[in-house]
Amino acid sequence: MAPKNDLSELEKKIGIKFKNKDLLRQALVHRSYLNENIGFDLDNNERLEFLGDAVLELVVTQFLYENYKEPEGELTNWRAALVKGSMLACIAKSLSVGDYLYLSKGEEKTGGRSRELILANTFEALIGAIYIDQGLKTAKKFIEKHLLSKLPEILSKKLYIDPKSKLQQITQETMGITPTYKVLAEYGPDHAKSFTVGVYLKDKLLGQGSGSSKQIAEQSAAWSALETIKE
């Protein structure tokens, strides 16, 4: 499946018309695509992701500081719940970002268009591209509309509580079992490794998640397990 080339559809979904269309395109270029397409006219999206991550943290931190009087530790937990990979990937999916990704054939075959880590990183790259093209004010509006609007639900459902601790508390209270975590897969170069981790109750796989570190992947797996238990 080739990426959708008509970026005007994506611009409508995100509510932003780019001055420099190549910035938007670059935000969608996964590093794997360049390995198979030598001489492609754009770089991958990792530098934009680096920038977007910083813009995202600034905007979210400023919003929490200005609107809530809770102590630093509580605000840190809220921010972590907002900017975690699964949340960013969920928003990217709602905007159909995966349809526009430039991926290698290998990533394509293994479901890269819906992979949480790739979508989360692309969402950050998109923020970086918006920041360069339109400035902080527009990037802030985008983040407020698509991400900060999720905060009331996070607070009402207490989704900011550490998922590993919450899962362990539930399983020990209801079953007398402590969950265990196991790395199911490692992929990517040494400087940019990604991990998929499964969480088990005895021998039963309860959930799995991916991330750029084992810790992040474990957190994602714990969230997945909590959703399974809730269902």
The residues annotated with a catalytic role in the active site are 53, 124
Q: Which two tokens stand for residue 93?
A: 């999916």
Q: How far apart are CA 98 and CA 23, in angstroms?
A: 17
Q: How far apart are CA 93 and CA 35, in angstroms?
A: 25
Whether the Cβ atoms of residue 51 and residue 43 lie closer than 8 Å to each other = no
**Amino acid at residue number 105:** K
Q: Which residue is listed with tokens 């714990």?
A: 222
**58 three-state secondary structure:** helix
3-state secondary structure 111-139: CHHHCHHHHHHHHHHHHHHHHHHHCHHHH
Residue 18 phi/psi, 5° resolution? Answer: -75, 140
Cα distances (angstroms) measured from residue 149 to each of 73, 135, 137: 21, 21, 17
